[in-house]
Amino acid sequence: MTIQKPASTASHQLAARLWTSYLSRYWPKLAISLVAMATYAASASAIPAGVELINAAFTGDANGPASRFARFDPARVALWGPILIIVLGAANAGSQYIQSRLSASAALGALRDIQNDVFAKLTSIDDGQLRAIGSGQATARLTNDTGVLRETLTRASNAARDLLTLIGLLGVMFWYDWALFLVVFVVYPVLGWPVARIGKFLRQRSKQAQDQAGEIASLAVEAVSGGRLIRAYGLEERVGARAGGAFDRRLDVLRRMAHLRALNEPFIFFVGSVALSLIITVVAIRINAGALNVSELISFIIALLLLSQPARGLSTLNAVAQEGFGAFERLLCVIDLEPTIKSAPGAPVLKPENGSIQFDNVTFAYSGKTEDGETAALRDFTLNVAGGETVALVGESGAGKSTVFNLLLRLFDPDTGQILVDGQEARAVSLASWRRQFAVVSQETVLFDDSVAENIRFGRLDASDADIQAAARQAAADEFIRALPDGYDTRIGEAGMSLSGGQRQRLAIARAFLRDAPILLMDEATAALDAETERQVQDALASLTKGRTTLIIAHRLATVTGADRICLMSDGRLIDQGRHDDLVARNVGYERLARLQFGSDPNLLTT
C-alpha cells in the first residue's frame, strides 16, 4: 500500500495546529515569556527617549517633554545619564534571558511531544502503512524534520519578541515625527512582498530536501545492514554510485535553497537603503520647515537603527518558518495516520479455551486487490487446527506460509473469509487480547539495544528475574548468558550484534518460553543453531509445545517429520495435508520435495 500525501496545508492552519496540539501545553511558561518580551520591547523603545533626554541636557535643544531637561547642568547628566542607560540595559538583558530560556524550554518540550507522537504512531500503525513509509523516511521524520522544526520554533519565539519591539519602536518614531514614520511604515511592507515570495519557494524546496534526507537515510540503513553482502560481492562501487546520485540530487536542491537564502539578506539590505534614502529626503524637508530638531532627529535615527534588528529578524522569519511548516506537515502525515487494523468499538476480550485455529475460505492480497486475475498471497484458504495440535506448513517460496502467520497475528486482515481462535473471529474481539494468544519465534530474530534480561522480558513485561532465568534455561541460553561480561545485565548492542546468530536465536526462544501463550508460531526456529545446541533446544521446544497449539513454517522437512500434520501449500492454496509418511506415499509434489532434501534412500524418506 502507499501513503497518500495530503494537499498542502496553509501556513496559518499549520501554526494553529502546532499551538493547539503542542505549544498550548506550555502556556504558563509562554505567558511569562510574553511578559519578558514586553519588558524587552519597552526597554528597547525607551533607549531613544533616554538618549534624547541626555542630548537635551547637553545641547539645550529640545521641544515638548524633553525641554525640561534642557536646563540641566551637564555635570548632573554625568550622574543620572549613565544610571539611566545601565537600568535600561539591565532590563533589556534580563528580560531577554528570561524570554529565551522559557520559550526555548517550551519549544523543546513541544518537540519532545511531537517525537513521542511520531514514534508512538510508527509502532501502532499497520504493517502495510509502515512498509509504505519505509525505515529511512521514518528515521528522517524523527531526526531531520524535528531538527528543522526546532529551528523554526526557536526563531518564532524570537519573532514574537521582535514584533513587540518593532511596535514599540514604531510608536516612538511616530511620536517624534509622523511624516518620517509614514515613510518607514509604507516602504518596508511594500518592498517586503518579494521576501514573502522567496519564503514560499523555500518551503517547496525544503519539503524536497526533507524527502531526500529520508532517501539518504534509507541508503545508509541498507549500507549498514547489507555491509557483508556489499563487501562479499564487491558491490562497493555500485552502491557508492547509487548513493552518489542521491547526494547529487540533494546537492541540487540544497544549492537552490542556498541561492534563495543568499538573495534574501541582500534584498533586505537594499530595502533598507531605499528606505534610508527616502528618510534623508523627508528629514531635510522637515528640518527646513522647523518641524524637527537635531535632538529628535538623533533619537529618531537611533530608533530606526534599533528597528533594523527586529525588522531583519521578522523579514527572514518567513523563510525559516516555511521550512519548518514543511517539516511539520511531513510529521503530521505520520501523526494523523489511522491504523485500519484495530479493535472494533466495544470489542470483548478473547476468552481462551484450548487454542484451536480456523481459517475459513480466506483470500488475501498484499496489494488489497484480488480481482481481475490479481495474484493473491492466499486464495480460498481453509485450515482447521485442533487445540494442542502441531501443524507444519511446507511449500516453495511464495506459497503463502508467512502470510498465514501475518494474518494470524492480525498484521493484516483478510480480504474475504474469517480467521477464528477458539471459535472467536479475529475482528470480533479486542486486538490486544487476540495477540496475547501467540508467541513467535522467527528466523529473523528481533532484539533491541538493551540488556539480555530486558530482551527476554519483552515476552512478558511483568516477569520477575527468576522467571527470565528459568526461560533462558529452557532455551539452553542460561550458560552463555552467564558467561557474558555482566551476565543478564549485559547490553547486547543494536539488533544484538554483539552476539552470535545462535545466541540471538536462543534469546528469541527464551522470550517465547516466557510469554507462555497458548499458540506457538515458529518459523524454522532452530535454523541458526549448531547440531548440539539444536538438539538441546529441540528437546526444550518439545516440552514447550506440549498442550499448546503449534504452527511451524518448515524449510527443512527433517525438523517436522514428527508433526501431527503437515500441510503442503502452493500458490496460496492448501494442496494436501497429512502425516509425513502418508504424503510421501500419495503426493508427487511432496515426495519430490522430500527426495530433494533426503535423497533417494527409502529409510530417510519415511520415518
Q: How far apart, in whole angstroms, are the C-alpha atoms of residue 587 and residue 25? A: 67
Once rounded to an integer, what is the mean pLDDT over residues 136-149? 78
Q: How far apart, in whole angstroms, are the C-alpha atoms of residue 217 and residue 366? A: 25
Does 136 or 590 have the greater pLDDT score?
Answer: 590
Please write the tens of the pLDDT for every residue from 388-439: 899 999 888 888 888 999 899 898 899 999 999 999 999 999 988 998 899 8
Closest by alpha carbon to 310, among 152, 103, 165? Answer: 165
State the pLDDT at residue 605. 55
Size (the chain), residues: 607
State the pLDDT at residue 551. 92
State the pLDDT at residue 70. 46
Q: How far apart, in whole angstroms, are the C-alpha atoms of residue 408 and residue 150? A: 42
Residue 63 zone, left/alpha/beta (φ > 0; ψ -120 to 50; rest): beta
Q: Would residue 595 count as lying in a domain?
A: no
Please tell me the total count of domains within the chain: 2
Query: Would you say the C-alpha torsion 3, 7, 11, 15 has a positive or negative sign?
Result: negative
Map residue 363 onto helix, strand or coil.
Answer: strand
394 forms bridges with which residues in the sheet? 568
Question: Last residue of some domain: 453, 488, 516?
Answer: 516
Q: Which domain holds residue 496?
A: 445-516
Q: Are 175 and 298 within 8 A, CB to CB?
A: no
Q: Are 303 and 48 within 8 A, CB to CB?
A: yes
Once rounded to an integer, what is the mean pLDDT over residues 81-88? 78
Residue 60 zone, left/alpha/beta (φ > 0; ψ -120 to 50; rest): left
Q: Would residue 304 count as lying in a domain?
A: yes
Q: Would residue 168 count as lying in a domain?
A: yes
Give the confidence band of 4 by pLDDT, cuts at 50, 70, 90.
Answer: low
Contacts of 605 (CB under 8 A, 6+ apart): 584, 591, 594, 595, 598
pLDDT at 61 over 60: no
Please write the tens of the pLDDT for every residue from 107-129: 888 888 888 888 888 878 787 77
Q: Would residue 583 count as lying in a domain?
A: no
Closest by alpha carbon to 268, among 227, 311, 229, 239? Answer: 311
Query: Would you say the C-alpha torsion 131, 135, 137, 141 has a positive or negative sign?
Result: positive
Question: Last residue of some domain: 457, 483, 516?
Answer: 516
Contacts of 68 (CB under 8 A, 6+ apart): none
User: Is the model's pTM score more than 0.75?
Assistant: no
Question: Last residue of some domain: 289, 313, 335?
Answer: 335
Once rounded to an integer, what is the mean pLDDT over residues 507-533? 79
Closest by alpha carbon to 93, among 52, 47, 39? Answer: 39
**In the block, residue with C-alpha cell 522430500:** 594
Q: Would residue 346 count as lying in a domain?
A: no
Give 377's Cβ-side CA count (13 Å radius). Answer: 19
Q: What percentage of residues in the chain have a pLDDT greater than 90?
A: 10
Closest by alpha carbon to 442, among 480, 396, 401? Answer: 401
Give the confidence band of 130 by pLDDT, cuts at 50, 70, 90.
Answer: confident
In a shared domain, residues 329 and 456: no
In a shared domain, residues 321 and 463: no
Q: Would residue 397 count as lying in a domain?
A: no
In a shared domain, residues 231 and 93: yes
User: Looking at residue 369, what DSSP letter applies?
Assistant: -
Q: Would residue 129 count as lying in a domain?
A: yes
Contacts of 400 (CB under 8 A, 6+ apart): 377, 378, 381, 569, 571, 572, 573
State the pLDDT at residue 602. 47
Q: Would residue 232 count as lying in a domain?
A: yes
Average pLDDT of every residue of the chain: 78
In a shared domain, residues 35 and 165: yes
Would you tell me how many other CB atoms lie within 10 Å of the CB of residue 425? 14
Give the confidence band of 583 by pLDDT, cuts at 50, 70, 90.
Answer: confident
